Amino acid sequence: MDCYSRHTWVFFLPDKSSTTVTPGFEELTSGIWTKFHHLKYKICRFWCDNRKGEYNNSRFRDILRATGIQYVPALPYTQHKKAVSEQMIRTITTKACTLLLDARLPAEFWAKAVQTAAYLHAHSPSMSNKGKAPFQMICNEKPEVHHLQRFGCLAYKWIAMSPEWGEKLSTSLTAGYYLGLCAPDYKDMEALESVYKAGHPGAGCEV
């Protein structure tokens, strides 16, 4: 989370070991540099808890030193000093649960719900930013929202026509559910199709 704008990025890791967290942090920093280098934004400090392992190791500290990022761990028993980040985790989690409940989708799609919740938060006005969205604080322009669709609504995937099908009027679409703005991979789409074919009730809003 960016303390200035309250913009939040989400990464899903299989565990919290240093060998997993460090590449994720490198991906985050390179992504921020690629998207915002023209605005001359730079990560100055890295705030974290006092837990040892995923952050307090030589490889991670070497990356911070090489990129000029100051390492600022919290003191023991001072969880209140990172109240903003803890509240952000709660906010994103609550929004994700609300999206799943509204769409009536199973919990296996929680990661897509969290991604969508973080995206919606970045494009929504915030009291912490005096009514401005986190995206607006970083990019100095109002976010576009016309492309947003209801999470979990009915969606269709186009299927390339094959000569073996024979019938020219055969359907070229398969039904599924909309899982946010991140492009789904084939495994996600297959899971969506299986949920739809099983007759799971969705939100029913066509895209």
- Residue 186: the pLDDT is 39
What is the H or E stretch that residue 19 is in? helix 18-36
- Residue 64: the pLDDT is 87
3 state SS of 47: strand
- Residue 81: the pLDDT is 65
- Residue 99: the pLDDT is 92
Domain positions in the chain are 18-139, 154-197
pTM recorded for the entire structure: 0.73
3-class DSSP string for 144-207 = CCCCCCCCCCEEEEECCCCHHHCCCCCCCEEEEECCCCCCCCHHHHHHHHHHHHCCCCCCCCCC
Question: Is 3.30.420.10 the CATH number for 18-139?
Answer: yes
pLDDT along the chain (207 residues), means of 10: 84 83 85 74 78 76 86 73 80 93 88 90 86 86 84 77 56 74 45 45 37
- Residue 194: the pLDDT is 45
- Residue 79: the pLDDT is 64
- Residue 146: the pLDDT is 82
C-alpha dihedral sign at 50, 51, 56, 59? negative
Look up residue 79 and give its DSSP letter. Answer: G
